[in-house]
Structure 1
Amino acid sequence: MSLHEPGAVDPLSLAGVVPPTITAFDDEESLDLERTAAHARFVVDRGVHGVFPLGTNGEFALLTDAERDRVVEAVVDEVGGEVPVIAGVGAPSTRQTVAHAEHAESVGADGVVVVTPYYFPLDGRGAVEHYQRVAEAVSVPIYVYHIPGRTGNRLSLETLEELAAIDGVAGVKDSSKDVPWLVQAMDACPDLTYLAGSDSLLFAGLEVGCAGMVSAVANVFPELVVELYEAYDEGDEAQAHDLQRQVFAVRRAFKSGGGYMAGVKSTLPMRGFDAGPLRSPLRLLDDEEADALSEQLAAIEGVGEHLSLEK
């Protein structure tokens, strides 16, 4: 694999901006499938290159198994065939993960994203057996989701090499924010596709060889992140770096209130898209926090114009 290209074993050749799309709820925190699908449409119509329902921003850990399956169905029905839909299917148990993966494949998802099992400690052998069973159950490509800060389970480079040898494992979405680990992973397993999983490392991820990025900022400002990717892809690294600074500013604004996810969902109405609340115990920003966030975002070059046009 050369720098900034999908891996040789990735049948989707996944690249570009792939937002971890939100799950919408009504005022009673019941699943709103129409608005969930509409958010996938919102980002696709603004130029993203794929969608990832049921990532962290999709609040997957707060949904029932049946709700998760319905979200995948709704997103595939809305944008499937236009861009790759890679569905989050990970769960603490292998049995649940396999069931979600089989369902996602059956309804037309193009690939599945399998977060490392969480809550219980997992050793390398357990991780390999887990992904092997998923790979035996489905024929769509599998992307390993590495986010040890949330799962409590970090993959060693040796374990990743074993995972890369599994037929069907196509890539890694790395949210560890550990650039040395990522660079060594690319060196050890060059045939995989790598996706940068933190808005703090979009430009840096492209620089070290990621083919694309899973960006929460792109859930609200897809134009900004798509412009960053396209500038880099066209060889204008200076412009891409400047746009990363804007993403940093948005990221800081999102994190200044009740947390990153609260920032994302509290900003969407400023763009004319109401995704409803976060599911408890998560919360949206209160009015005072939202007003402060709006002021911060309006002051960011290249961002405020979107709010003024669409709020």
Structure 2
Amino acid sequence: MADPTAGSADPLPLYGVVPPTVTAFDADESVDLDATAAHARFVVDAGCHGVFPLGTNGEFPLLTGEERRRVVETVVDEIESVPVVPGVGAPSTHETVANAEHAADAGADGVIVVTPYYYPLDDAAAVDHYRRVAEAVDVPVYVYHIPSRTGNALSLSALDRIAEIDGIAGLKDSSKDVPWLGQAVDRHPELSFLVGSDSLLFPGLEIGCSGLVSAVANAFPELVVDLYEAYAAGDEDRARDLQSRVYDVRAAMKRGPYMAGVKTALSLRDLDFDVGPLRRPLRRMDEDDRAALESDLADLDLP
């Protein structure tokens, strides 16, 4: 069994369940900061060990720079008991550095930096990008590797060079490339690794990840916290059973439009806040898909 502890180079340290919290919108798609804060509070109150605003589930590419800054400030002000590590990545190093500096000044505990996207990136450019971000801030920097969305995969040799940069504390991997992740963990035990797919929560812990960035945890944080805590306590059988349950929840939430499941599932829970729609061109489930999701969740005995 792997020990789910953070890397020695991670001063936070970052571990456990760290949901990529949502950005809430009003009906007119303007940012609802109160509901955004309420969602972050919801997952923390359910036992999550950190929050990651402005990740993929936070719809960060669809926000203006000012909206991103206000989300960071809002979540930092709301959450004090666990690390707040917002996403600050952008296609340009210039904008990424500015976002990172703002987040650090706002009181974020660390920053998560997605690989630059749209333009192809070679190893030298990737290393330079992360060096400039790390040199600009005094908070830990975590690499965010999601080549299916950015179009840019990091080679293991590039990661070797990035890991040597002062201030680089870890990596969140959403590649679903288990051999790549396994080798990265093996080569860099000093870094904290967070697995970024609900399909690989238990396997990620098994190969040495310290944390789970789970979309399912945005809607059902109790389930993913139970999985992590079972594993950390040495109960692998229970952790495996809970991973199977996560597979079922993930399948139910994947019906309908891309990324519609989390906000639709949240709307089916008896909560005192409403995260609203996704921002166009993304959209929530239609009534048929919503009803099917509600039925699936009831079959799974989930609220």
**TM value normalised by structure 1:** 0.95
Deviations 1:26-83 (A, max 9, x none): 000001001000000010111000000000000000000110000000000001x210
CA shift at 1:282, angstroms? 0.2
Q: Match of 2:86, SS?
A: strand
Q: Which residue of 1 aligns with 2:123?
A: 124
Whether 2:71 is the aligned partner of 1:75: answer no
- Which residue type is aligned with residue 293 of structure 1? L
Aligned-partner Cα distance in 1 for 2:187–2:227: 28
Give the counterpart of 2:270 among 264, 269, 272.
Answer: 272
Could you tell me which residue of structure 2 aligns to residue 61 of structure 1?
61
Distance 1:44 1:4 in 2: 19
Q: What one-letter code is carried by the residue in structure 1 that aligns with 2:90? A: A
Per-residue deviation at 1:189?
A: 1.5
C-alpha displacement at 1:4, in angstroms? 2.1
Per the alignment, residue 35 of structure 1 pairs with 35
CA distance, structure 1, for counterparts of residue 277 and residue 207 of structure 2: 37
Q: Report the CA distance between 1:271 and its aligned residue.
A: 1.2
CA deviations over 1:270-294 (Å, ceiling 9, x no partner): 1134200000000000111100110
- Which position in structure 2 is the counterpart of 1:190? 189
SS in 2 for 1:71: helix
**Residue identity in the other structure for 2:165:** I
Give the deviation of 1:269 after TM superposition. 1.3
Identity %: 66
- Output the CA distance in 1 between the equivalents of 2:7 and 2:209: 10
Residue 285 (str. 1) matches residue 285 (str. 2): yes
Pairs within 5 Å for 1:173-212: 173-212=172-211
Tell me the alpha carbon deviations over residues 149-191 of structure 1, each in whole angstroms, 9 at most, x when there is no partner.
Answer: 0000000000000000000000000000001000111121221
Which residue of 1 is the match for residue 24 of structure 2?
Answer: 24
Unaligned segments of structure 1, at least 5 residues: none
Structure 1 Cα separation of the partners of residues 26 and 59 of structure 2? 14
Establish whether residue 250 from structure 1 lines up as the match of residue 256 from structure 2: no
CA deviation profile, 1:59-112 (whole Å, cap 9, x unmatched): 000000110000000000001x21000010000000110000000000100000
1:216 paired to 2:215: yes
Is 1:25–1:277's contact at 8 Å kept on the other side of the alignment? yes
Report the RMSD for the aligned CA atoms in angstroms. Answer: 0.8
**What letter matches 1:21 in structure 2?**
T
Matched, 1:164 2:154: no
CA distance in 2, matches of 1:84, 1:218: 16
Aligned residue number for residue 299 of structure 1: 299
Contact 2:3/2:232 (CA < 8 Å) preserved in 1? no
Secondary structure at the counterpart of residue 6 of structure 2: coil
How far is the alpha carbon of 1:3 from its aligned partner? Answer: 3.7
Q: Distance in 2 between matches of 1:168 and 1:44?
A: 26
Deviation at 1:268, TM superposition (A): 0.4
What secondary structure sits across from 1:284 in the alignment?
coil
Q: Is the 8 A contact 1:257 1:293 kept in 2?
A: no
Aligned AA (2:262): V
Please state whether the residue corresponding to 1:144 is helix, strand or coil.
strand
Q: Structure 2-normalised TM-score? A: 0.98
Q: How far apart are the structure 2 equivalents of 1:169 and 1:110?
A: 13
Which residues of 2 match residues 133-144 of structure 1 at below 5 A? 133-144=132-143
Q: 1:231 aligns to what SS in structure 2?
A: helix
SS in 1 for 2:57: helix
Secondary structure of the corresponding residue to residue 88 of structure 1: coil
**1-structure distance, mates of 2:45, 2:97:** 31
